[in-house]
Amino acid sequence: MSKEKEWKTMFSRGRMPILVALAAAGCCFSWAEAAAQDTVTQSAAVILPDSPEGVAAPRELRMSAPGGMRICYRFGPPSPKSYIRELITPGGVNVARDDVADHVHHHGLMYALSVDGHTFWEEWNKKEGWKSLQHSVSLRVEGSILEESLNWILPDGTVCAIEHRRVTLIGGQNPARLLWETTLEPPSGKAEITLSGNHYYGMGLRFPQAMDGKTRFVYAEGGRDEIF
């Protein structure tokens, strides 16, 4: 089955979780510099980013972990998405790239699909302007867990989907792990939504340019596969 067909699945009002686990070898994560408990709320008004090439005054949470691992989590608005903008290794290397010149909608470690035919992967184009946004409604940090509620919206304020996101940092193991859990559900008054997308939709991570053409992708089934 192709990725396009896999994504074309109807979701009822009941919650449908999407789980993604990422491993970082030899790293121990914690919210060492974050407050033990922090909550941010956002109004429901639509706020368009000032430019597709970057955000002048972003909202971010920065955290560090024992051993030197650091994370920067950016959330919108005014950013068009909420995502992990920086993932810095104990050796001081950031392995996530943001605002890439050839694809300005590639944001560090991010998650996006199409909902009812509206793409939330490609946020903007020259012909239409802004097409879609992920607006953070509330964000809460407690211990090693970040929980966020987001509206996937169109520029006219139409809410296409509601996301409940949880990012958990699991340290003290080798490798340490980052667990990203996403639940997407229809907005109030709508019975179902259709999720779809191209083969590269879903979880995305843009690596540093120095890694281009020098990496090997290994799949759960074993062996190597086509790199898109």
Q: What pLDDT score was predicted for residue 163?
A: 97
Note the pLDDT tens digit of each residue in 26-68: 333 333 334 434 555 555 577 777 666 667 778 899 877 666 6
- How many separate helices (H) and strands (E) can be counted in the chain? 1, 19
Q: Is the pLDDT of residue 189 over 90?
A: yes
Q: What pLDDT score was predicted for residue 160?
A: 96
Mean pLDDT of 218-228: 60
Greater confidence (109 vs 56) lies with 109
Q: What pLDDT score was predicted for residue 33?
A: 35
Q: DSSP readout, 119-141? A: ESSS-EETTTEE--EEEEEEEEE
Q: Is the pLDDT of residue 173 over 70?
A: no
Mean pLDDT of 156-179: 82
Task: Flag the least confident range among 13-22, 110-119, 156-165.
Answer: 13-22
Q: What pLDDT score was predicted for residue 67?
A: 63
Q: Is the pLDDT of residue 221 over 80?
A: no
Q: Is the pLDDT of residue 95 over 60?
A: yes
Note the pLDDT tens digit of each residue in 115-160: 999 999 888 777 777 788 999 999 998 877 889 999 999 999 999 9
Percent of the chain with pLDDT over 90: 29
Q: What share of the chain is helix, strand, coil (3-state, %, to 5)?
A: 5, 45, 50
Mean pLDDT of 198-205: 87
In the sheet where 118-119 sits, what is the strand order? Answer: 9-11, 193-196, 114-115, 118-119
Q: Is the peptide bond before 175 cis (omega within 30 degrees of 0)?
A: yes
The whole-model pTM stands at 0.77
Task: Flag the least confident range among 14-28, 96-110, 124-138, 189-203.
Answer: 14-28
Q: What pLDDT score was predicted for residue 172?
A: 62
